Chain A
Amino acid sequence: MGRSFRAALCDPKVIFGCGFILVLIVLAIFAPWIAPQDPLEQNLMLGTLPPAGFVDAEPGYWFGTDDLGRDVLSRLIYGSRIALTVAFIAAGLAALVGTTLGLLAGWYRGWVETVITRLVDIWMAFPPVLLSTLLVAVFGSGLHSVIAAIAIIDWTRFCRVVRSETMAQASMDYVTAARTIGFSRFRILVSEILPNVAPVLVALVSLEMGIAVIVEAILSFVGLSVSSDTPTWGGMIAQGRQIIYQGWWVMVAPLVMLLLTVLAFNQLGDGLRRALDPMMRR
């Protein structure tokens, strides 16, 4: 396992993904010191100014301003806080719930498995976007709702994968050996199977973080996330969409940021999956 981790760290995809996310984390934590302007400060005199390099650009406002005169770059930097918060917490929760249920279903089988898989089927019959807007409406808008909504919707992704992975592991010889020695079923589950399911899980969590960022962006695009004062990339995109003919950069900047972030998480997940995958089976 140690060797494959080292291999993982050398994979270019992992390097790019990790690197970009680290940059984002730095931006998010040190936003007040890094951002050139106050993200909330409106200045109608400086409304809808183009980014640096264009005619009429204002120095100090590198990516231009939106129609209310707010600095796009600063809002972008502050927006990373929301994105990363949602990414880590929501993905983590979804992974927790999904993995637990997946392990239980794949290991104990029987009626436990039937109930859980039935549940997964019903869950997956909902269009994710619709369900998430529904849940946010139920819980009331706000970051906690968004996180809860994402976790509640996406746990099925983890459950399915972990379940099939658990079943595959359960049929392996080392498990039979452990049973004959007399380990309890629960102990085998936690100390033998879980560590072997971990590699697949790590990659999936990374992918899930990318998905979480997108869902949050969609929700704030639609206006169902945090209040419109707090800068979010989705909210910026929505505002930018309104004035797209006058100031295309207001939509492009957060869109590109969103894209790069999702790509980073995807590449990280991809690279990890390839590096940590036991070669015997695939």
Chain B
Amino acid sequence: MIALSILNRLWLAAITLFGVGVVVFVLLRVVPGDPIAMMISPGSTPEQIARMRAHYGLDGGIGSQFWVWLKALLTGDFGTSISLRRNVLELLGERLPATLELATAALVFAALLGGSVAIAGTMVRRTLLEPLIDAVNGTVLAVPDFVWALALVLVLGVFFPVFPLSGRIDPSLQADFATSFYLIESLVRLRPAQFADVAAHMAMPVLALGLPLAAIIARVLKETLLEAMVQDYILLAKLKGMSTLRLVLQEALRNAVGPTIALTGVQFTFLIGGTVIIERIFAYPGIGNMAIDAVINRDLPLIQGLVLVFGSLFIIINVLVDMLVAALNPRLRHG
């Protein structure tokens, strides 16, 4: 029963991903400006140009190009980046972990901060503190991540330099990483200096990405918590002698979390989209940072690869969120 719905979702996901690929493919073939023309050195022979074109899969009509591309894709060949002259899959593999760490850290931060604010807001219901919390939350909510990033650059980078403004790690500490997951690896291998440095570099981008999400989580969770708190079972629990904090955490929270997670999942995909500009602002070496340059350079293979990666992330997150929501609801679990 559950397996069937998961399979159904995966199938839909595959179709969506295919659609994404097709759209990008068509879009890029419409691009004016020949990327090959930008790359050739003066004095190249027509044969050399033709060979280059074939190498990047840009010869033949659209139909055959699509077929070639699709075949290559299914065998794991994403082609070679025109601007960076390296295998696209390799490039993506190198930089994806950085973005994943960033996005996950931002999500955790947002969940913790947003959750705490929501719980606090519920507990000060009908006191003077509540409208204050709502107002602050509303303001944070209205500021886009782009603006947060720049404000943070200003305040925490220039006026009160607390955190480094760019990069992922101090070059002198870069030395011997086995994987590209710097944060996790330095934690697991117990290297405090490296961990602290990576974390410090991540601090501002995580704040920029996470604050708007935290505000959304806080607002939605508070609403659902308040809805739960007026239910009869809360009254009965109160009669059993529970403190307000316990009422919120033990009784109300589990029923309020479901709808919040659904919305958080959607917002999380937006967060990942936001890494494109945030990584740029902080010169953070993830896939987002690569994206803008790839577009400016008309680097077709790289752009295609990036879009597919982003698209897959979006879809995977949506599927995971759906499964999580179903798992958390006892009514759906027992079907």
A237 and B296 CA atoms in complex are apart in Å by 19
The one of B23, B31, B273 that contacts A128, using a Cβ cutoff of 8 Å? B273
Report yes or no: B20 in contact with A129, Cβ–Cβ below 8 A.
Answer: no
Name A259's closest neighbour in chain B (CB-CB).
B147
A138 and B30 CA atoms in complex are apart in Å by 7
Report yes or no: A122 in contact with B19, Cβ–Cβ below 8 A.
Answer: yes
Contacts of B277 in A (CB 8 A): 129, 218, 221-222
The answer to the question of B144 belonging to the interface, with a C-beta cut-off of 8 Å to chain A, is yes
Name B18's closest neighbour in chain A (CB-CB).
A122
Residue interface bits B12-23, CB-to-A below 8 A is 1, else 0: 100111011001
Known: A121-B16, A124-B314. A244 touches B276 (CB 8 A): no
Report yes or no: B142 in contact with A244, Cβ–Cβ below 8 A.
Answer: no
Which of A4-12, A88-96, A185-193, A250-258 binds B?
A250-258
Contacts of B102 in A (CB 8 A): none
A221 and B149 CA atoms in complex are apart in Å by 13
A237 and B19 CA atoms in complex are apart in Å by 36
The one of A223, A237, A263 that contacts B150, using a Cβ cutoff of 8 Å? A237
The one of B27, B272, B314 that contacts A138, using a Cβ cutoff of 8 Å? B27
Contacts of A218 in B (CB 8 A): 146, 277
Report yes or no: A125 in contact with B20, Cβ–Cβ below 8 A.
Answer: yes
A223 and B153 CA atoms in complex are apart in Å by 19
A228 and B89 CA atoms in complex are apart in Å by 35
Query: How many inter-chain contacts with C-beta < 8 Å in the A-B complex?
Result: 113
Shortest beta-carbon distance from B272 to chain A in Å: 7
Residue interface bits A217-229, CB-to-B below 8 A is 1, else 0: 1100111100000
Contacts of A252 in B (CB 8 A): 154
The answer to the question of B295 belonging to the interface, with a C-beta cut-off of 8 Å to chain A, is yes
The answer to the question of B298 belonging to the interface, with a C-beta cut-off of 8 Å to chain A, is yes
Residue interface bits A32-75, CB-to-B below 8 A is 1, else 0: 00000000000000000000000000000000000000000000
The one of A125, A223, A258 that contacts B147, using a Cβ cutoff of 8 Å? A258
A267 and B142 CA atoms in complex are apart in Å by 9
At the interface, is chain B mostly helix, strand, loop or mixed?
helix
A217 and B277 CA atoms in complex are apart in Å by 11
The one of B31, B146, B295, B303 that contacts A214, using a Cβ cutoff of 8 Å? B146
Which of B175-183, B256-264, B305-313 binds A?
B305-313
A1 and B31 CA atoms in complex are apart in Å by 47
Known: A127-B272, A138-B27, A218-B277. A245 touches B146 (CB 8 A): no
A119 and B314 CA atoms in complex are apart in Å by 15
A135 and B147 CA atoms in complex are apart in Å by 23
Report yes or no: B16 in contact with A245, Cβ–Cβ below 8 A.
Answer: no
The one of A122, A255, A262 that contacts B151, using a Cβ cutoff of 8 Å? A255
A7 and B201 CA atoms in complex are apart in Å by 49
Shortest beta-carbon distance from B162 to chain A in Å: 16
The answer to the question of B274 belonging to the interface, with a C-beta cut-off of 8 Å to chain A, is yes
Report yes or no: A133 in contact with B20, Cβ–Cβ below 8 A.
Answer: no
Interface size class of B (residues with CB under 8 A): 35 or more
Shortest beta-carbon distance from B216 to chain A in Å: 13
A266 and B140 CA atoms in complex are apart in Å by 12
At the interface, is chain A mostly helix, strand, loop or mixed?
helix
Report yes or no: A259 in contact with B19, Cβ–Cβ below 8 A.
Answer: no
Contacts of B16 in A (CB 8 A): 118, 121-122, 125
The one of A125, A244, A262 that contacts B153, using a Cβ cutoff of 8 Å? A244
A262 and B212 CA atoms in complex are apart in Å by 14
Report yes or no: B31 in contact with A137, Cβ–Cβ below 8 A.
Answer: yes
Contacts of B314 in A (CB 8 A): 124-127
A241 and B283 CA atoms in complex are apart in Å by 13
Shortest beta-carbon distance from A206 to chain B in Å: 12
The answer to the question of B143 belonging to the interface, with a C-beta cut-off of 8 Å to chain A, is yes
Name B315's closest neighbour in chain A (CB-CB).
A125
Report yes or no: B307 in contact with A126, Cβ–Cβ below 8 A.
Answer: yes
Contacts of B72 in A (CB 8 A): none
| Total A residues in contact with B, Cβ cutoff 8 Å | 37
The answer to the question of B291 belonging to the interface, with a C-beta cut-off of 8 Å to chain A, is yes
Contacts of A224 in B (CB 8 A): 295-296
The answer to the question of B32 belonging to the interface, with a C-beta cut-off of 8 Å to chain A, is yes
Name the residue in A121, A135, A223 with the highest tally of chain B Cβ atoms < 10 Å from its Cβ: A121
Report yes or no: B280 in contact with A127, Cβ–Cβ below 8 A.
Answer: no
Shortest beta-carbon distance from B267 to chain A in Å: 12
Residue interface bits A107-132, CB-to-B below 8 A is 1, else 0: 00000000000100110111111100
Contacts of B307 in A (CB 8 A): 126, 130, 134
Report yes or no: B20 in contact with A126, Cβ–Cβ below 8 A.
Answer: yes
A121 and B266 CA atoms in complex are apart in Å by 12
A218 and B148 CA atoms in complex are apart in Å by 13
The one of B12, B23, B310 that contacts A127, using a Cβ cutoff of 8 Å? B310
A133 and B296 CA atoms in complex are apart in Å by 8
Shortest beta-carbon distance from A174 to chain B in Å: 29
The one of B17, B144, B276, B296 that contacts A130, using a Cβ cutoff of 8 Å? B276
Report yes or no: A118 in contact with B31, Cβ–Cβ below 8 A.
Answer: no
With A130-B291, A259-B147 given, name 17 new contacts (CB 8 A): A118-B15, A118-B19, A122-B20, A125-B17, A125-B311, A126-B273, A126-B314, A127-B273, A130-B295, A134-B295, A137-B295, A214-B147, A217-B146, A224-B295, A251-B154, A262-B143, A263-B139
17 residue pairs A–B, Cβ–Cβ below 8 Å: A122-B16, A126-B311, A127-B314, A130-B276, A130-B310, A133-B276, A133-B291, A134-B28, A134-B303, A137-B296, A140-B32, A214-B146, A244-B158, A248-B158, A251-B154, A259-B147, A262-B144
Closest 9 CB pairs of A and B: A127-B273, A122-B19, A129-B276, A125-B311, A133-B295, A125-B314, A266-B142, A137-B295, A127-B310
